[in-house]
Amino acid sequence: MNFIGRFAVVFALNFFLSGEAICQDVRWNEIENGIWKASVGEPEDISLLKAADIQPKKEALQRLPKADFPLLKSDIKAEVIDGKTYLRFPLSREEQLFGLGLNFKTVHQRGRIMQLHVDHYGGKDDGRTHAPVPFYVSSKGYGVLIDAARYVTVYAGTGVRVDAKDKPIVRDRNTDKNWNSRPYSDAVEILVPTTGTDIYVYGGNSPMEAVQRYNLYNGGGYIPPKWGLGFTQRVPTLYSQDDIIKEAEEFELHDFPLDFIGVEPGWHSMSYPCTFEWDTTRFPQPEKFNSDLMAMGIRTNLWLNPYISPVGSLYPKIKPLSGSHTVWNGIVPDLMLPEARKILKTHFLENHLNIGVSGYKIDEVDGYDFWVWPDVAKFPSGYSGEQMRQVYGLLIQDMTAKWFREKNQRTYGLVRASNAGASSMPYVIYNDYYSHKDFITALINSSFIGVLWTPEVRASKTAEEWLRRMQSVCFSPMAMLNAWADGTKPWTFPEVETAVRDVANLRMQLLPYIYSTFSQYRFEGLPPFRAMNLVDGFSFDATVTEGALDSTDNPYKVAVKSEIKDQYMMGDNILVAPMFAGENERKVILPAGKWYDFYDGTYVGENEIISVTPGLEKIPLFVKDGGIIPMRPVQRQAPRPDEKVDLILRHYGESEGSFVLYDDDGVSFDFEKGAYSKVDIIVKKDKKGSLKGTISKPEKGKPFGYNKKVNWEFMTK
Ligand code: GAL
């Protein structure tokens, strides 16, 4: 090496080691009512929100109250060092943090360190998960998003800076029993491994309002087609079209709800890698298969992973447009390339959508590291393996969602990887992990980060476990039994068959309420299934119990946080407190205001912790005072667009109340052009003080699938 060469190397090394810091002046622009954006350093031209192709709901954002910038701007710091972006946001005492990805074990995230990385959930809340959304919500009523398609590391109130404003007390471990191994930190610090990023701050008067802004900015939530909210069964891998038709008939015989069927890998002529072509032995007439099911009112949802088999017709077309590495010997289409998307669209439309397929289950886009491309992979679009890993789930959701939207047909499917910006995607996340309790915690956490999650049921060791799981899944965004491996049916445990049918029927009865709740997601950004921490009047959550100092289990005396991670709200009025196998009794924390038993309308308490022993047949459900629950009679399937059903209007408690019942055709996007009804259901006290209900008329010419006659049920006597 000559002198100049050596000089260049030494200079580069010095620069690298010293890491020249470039302090960034963080300039905040209010881009929507109560949403501020700042660009730090040089943001990349790929980001999470760009991959999700978000379309902010500006009018709905305007309707939210005004909000002030929630933090002291001078306390937000940004630096770019060695090609990495260092960010810092202030925290105050008592402030709690939520979000930071689809976590399964914890709801509170203050005090955690996470590297947010798209992955299959591996049993630890360390940032590796199906939707590692770099967004946190504060109990003080604001949210922060780091819009970077990178493995972002978040120190959520863990690192203690020498120049901290609010310093921890220095204690002597020898003598002070209040010594703590994790001294107080007054900041969230974030490392983004690239030269810059866009950051967003969402203001609010409550944590929920910050979440609403986040969801509305991302396009508002999704309203599934009505059939998507009915029951769905996924059949075993090698089922043929005849087996599936028989399965649908069996559901009829057992008088069990069924709106769509999931067809697992066996429909492809080869899978892992996949051909996306029908296997002609198992599915000789795919079009007839779809129309026969449709004649029974049942839709089809096809399983896939995006790794294309060399034996399929797509392979030669996609080969030049795919990444450098294979996954299960399949090539990985570069979804950043419009040309690749176009080829896939033509194939999928011709072979699936145009012959009646109603949706997809998009598997294996999350990882497990071995089962996805490595970070050293290259893609023809020029994006890196890391960037593609963070956005692939979003790209494939966006691509497929647009195919259905162009047909003016709503879809509803499943996906195993997502990220920030997904609120308006027609997909629910699922996985192979199977802890019932952790599934409920994931459902709670999904509400902070604009994604949907289903605690799917697969198999169970006992009838009790089976029933308990079935009860929970019926109170989730997708009521699904996934029998791909073991062929379980809802009636697999005959001793609880009736109770399983009852809870599935109850879900079907609640469709008017659930559908209206999803309309709130779309129009107001309110998540349909909600953490208690997003609910007004809920204040039981900040208890911290100190662990005892102990030479083996707790040598550094780590504080143990007790948190509420097993109950949630479905919509505004129903509190759901699932039961788990082996438990006859559970505690339920009731927020402020009076609460009533869903089943019989009796008063259960207010602003307190109650114990319930509901028996095996029931999942504990409670309704807020004045809560109105619109229901319909038991029916096996969701209503068709032209169908009119009876309306049952339940009222709970002693207070007056109101509810906005939403309806549309249930299948298309015409509601976006105004083809929907919102009617006001109002319960008021008359002069004598007794409760009387009224319902407004739907606007003429707008879809409204309910009969005129309304059955009122005042549940609290
Ligand atoms: C898994 C997926 C399961 C099932 C299976 C089929 O990856 O999580 O739900 O679809 O693939 O092979």
pLDDT at 4: 53
Which bin fits 583, alpha (ψ -120 to 50), beta or left (φ > 0)? beta
The Å distance, Cα 90 to ligand 1 centre, comes to 42
**Strand, helix or coil for residue 435:** coil
Tens-digit pLDDT profile for residues 60-70: 999 999 999 99
456 in ligand 1 pocket by Cβ < 6 Å? no
Tens-digit pLDDT profile for residues 143-173: 999 999 999 999 999 999 999 999 999 999 9
Measured between alpha carbons, how far is 467 from 473 in angstroms, rounded to an integer?
10
The more confident residue out of 167 and 6 is 167
- pLDDT over 70 at 131, yes or no: yes
Backbone angles phi, psi at 327, to 5 degrees: -125, 125
- pLDDT over 70 at 184, yes or no: yes
Q: Return the C-alpha torsion angle 126, 132, 134, 140, nearest 10.
A: -70
> What is the helix (H) or strand (E) element at residue 522, kind and residue range?
helix 511-524
Residues whose CB is less than 8 angstroms from the CB of residue 437 and which lie 6 or more positions away in sequence, other chains included: 565, 566, 580
The Å distance, Cα 234 to ligand 1 centre, comes to 10
- pLDDT over 80 at 560, yes or no: no
Tokens of 444: 């709670």
Atom nearest to 303 CA in ligand 1: 10
What confidence tier does 202 reach under pLDDT thresholds 50, 70, 90?
Answer: very high
Q: What CATH number does domain 532-613 carry, 3.40.50.880, 3.40.50.300, 3.30.70.890, 2.60.40.1180?
A: 2.60.40.1180
- pLDDT over 60 at 319, yes or no: yes
User: Which residue's alpha carbon is nearest to atom 5 within ligand 1?
Assistant: 484
Q: What is the mean pLDDT of the chain?
A: 94
The Å distance, Cα 566 to ligand 1 centre, comes to 26
What confidence tier does 13 reach under pLDDT thresholds 50, 70, 90?
Answer: very low
Measured between alpha carbons, how far is 397 from 417 in angstroms, rounded to an integer?
9
Q: Which of 238, 261, 264, 428 to mutate to test the pocket of ligand 1 (most atoms within 8 A of CB)?
A: 264
pLDDT at 19: 57
User: Which residue's alpha carbon is nearest to atom 10 within ligand 1?
Assistant: 264
The Å distance, Cα 372 to ligand 1 centre, comes to 15
The Å distance, Cα 270 to ligand 1 centre, comes to 15
484 in ligand 1 pocket by Cβ < 6 Å? yes
360 close to 413: Cβ distance less than 8 angstroms: yes
Q: What is the mean pLDDT of residues 207-219?
A: 98
The Å distance, Cα 484 to ligand 1 centre, comes to 7
Q: What is the mean pLDDT of residues 179-205?
A: 96
DSSP state of 549: P
User: Which residue's alpha carbon is nearest to atom 4 within ligand 1?
Assistant: 484
The Å distance, Cα 454 to ligand 1 centre, comes to 14
Instruction: Indicate where the chain has its CATH 2.60.40.1180 domain(s).
Output: 532-613
Atom nearest to 364 CA in ligand 1: 7
- pLDDT over 70 at 97, yes or no: yes
The Å distance, Cα 346 to ligand 1 centre, comes to 26
What confidence tier does 339 reach under pLDDT thresholds 50, 70, 90?
Answer: very high
Tokens of 636: 């096996």
The Å distance, Cα 364 to ligand 1 centre, comes to 8
The Å distance, Cα 328 to ligand 1 centre, comes to 14
The Å distance, Cα 432 to ligand 1 centre, comes to 7
The Å distance, Cα 265 to ligand 1 centre, comes to 8
What confidence tier does 332 reach under pLDDT thresholds 50, 70, 90?
Answer: very high
247 in ligand 1 pocket by Cβ < 6 Å? no
Tens-digit pLDDT profile for residues 501-521: 999 999 999 999 999 999 999
265 in ligand 1 pocket by Cβ < 6 Å? yes
**Strand, helix or coil for residue 34:** coil
pLDDT at 113: 98
Atom nearest to 482 CA in ligand 1: 9
Amino acid at 252: E
Q: Which of 120, 305, 362, 432 to mutate to test the pocket of ligand 1 (most atoms within 8 A of CB)?
A: 432
Measured between alpha carbons, how far is 121 from 367 in angstroms, rounded to an integer?
9
Atom nearest to 272 CA in ligand 1: 12
121 in ligand 1 pocket by Cβ < 6 Å? no
Strand partners, 89: 188
Tens-digit pLDDT profile for residues 378-415: 999 999 999 999 999 999 999 999 999 999 999 999 99
Instruction: Indicate where the chain has its CATH 2.60.40.1760 domain(s).
Output: 18-217
366 in ligand 1 pocket by Cβ < 6 Å? no
pLDDT at 1: 46
pLDDT at 537: 78
State what percent of residues in the chain have pLDDT above 70.
94
Distances (CA, A) of 136 to 89, 202, 451, 531, 567: 11, 10, 14, 14, 21
Instruction: Indicate where the chain has its CATH 3.20.20.80 domain(s).
Output: 226-427+474-527
The Å distance, Cα 363 to ligand 1 centre, comes to 7
Backbone angles phi, psi at 450, to 5 degrees: 65, 40
146 close to 199: Cβ distance less than 8 angstroms: yes
The Å distance, Cα 429 to ligand 1 centre, comes to 12
- pLDDT over 60 at 438, yes or no: yes
- pLDDT over 90 at 357, yes or no: yes
Q: Which of 267, 363, 478 to mutate to test the pocket of ligand 1 (most atoms within 8 A of CB)?
A: 363
pLDDT at 531: 97
264 in ligand 1 pocket by Cβ < 6 Å? yes
pLDDT at 270: 98
Tens-digit pLDDT profile for residues 229-243: 999 999 999 999 999
- pLDDT over 90 at 668, yes or no: yes
269 close to 275: Cβ distance less than 8 angstroms: yes
State what percent of residues in the chain have pLDDT above 90.
91
334 in ligand 1 pocket by Cβ < 6 Å? no
Architecture of domain 18-217: Sandwich (2.60)
303 in ligand 1 pocket by Cβ < 6 Å? yes
The Å distance, Cα 456 to ligand 1 centre, comes to 12
What confidence tier does 368 reach under pLDDT thresholds 50, 70, 90?
Answer: confident
Measured between alpha carbons, how far is 310 from 463 in angstroms, rounded to an integer?
44
- C-alpha 442 chain-centroid distance: 8
Class of domain 226-427+474-527: alpha beta
Measured between alpha carbons, how far is 532 from 529 in angstroms, rounded to an integer?
10
Atom nearest to 363 CA in ligand 1: 7
pLDDT at 197: 98
The Å distance, Cα 268 to ligand 1 centre, comes to 14
Q: How many CB atoms lie within 10 A of CB 55?
A: 11
The Å distance, Cα 344 to ligand 1 centre, comes to 22
* Helix ranges (DSSP H) in 296-455: 314-318, 338-351, 385-406, 436-446
242 in ligand 1 pocket by Cβ < 6 Å? no
pLDDT at 139: 94
Atom nearest to 430 CA in ligand 1: 8
pLDDT at 16: 44
Residues whose CB is less than 8 angstroms from the CB of residue 218 and which lie 6 or more positions away in sequence, other chains included: 49, 52, 54, 56, 420, 421, 422, 423, 424, 450
Out of 4-8, 221-225, 469-473, 596-600, least confident range: 4-8
392 in ligand 1 pocket by Cβ < 6 Å? no
User: Which residue's alpha carbon is nearest to atom 11 within ligand 1?
Assistant: 363
3-state secondary structure 491-517: CCCHHHHHHHHHHHHHHHHCHHHHHHH
Atom nearest to 484 CA in ligand 1: 4
Please state the pTM of the whole predicted model.
Answer: 0.95
- pLDDT over 90 at 545, yes or no: no
Q: Token match 């994006």: residue?
A: 383
The more confident residue out of 558 and 287 is 287
* E strand segments, 158-273: 187-192, 196-202, 231-234, 260-263
pLDDT at 369: 85
Measured between alpha carbons, how far is 700 from 202 in angstroms, rounded to an integer?
38
388 close to 331: Cβ distance less than 8 angstroms: no
Among 207, 191, 186, smallest CA distance to 98 is for 207
266 in ligand 1 pocket by Cβ < 6 Å? no
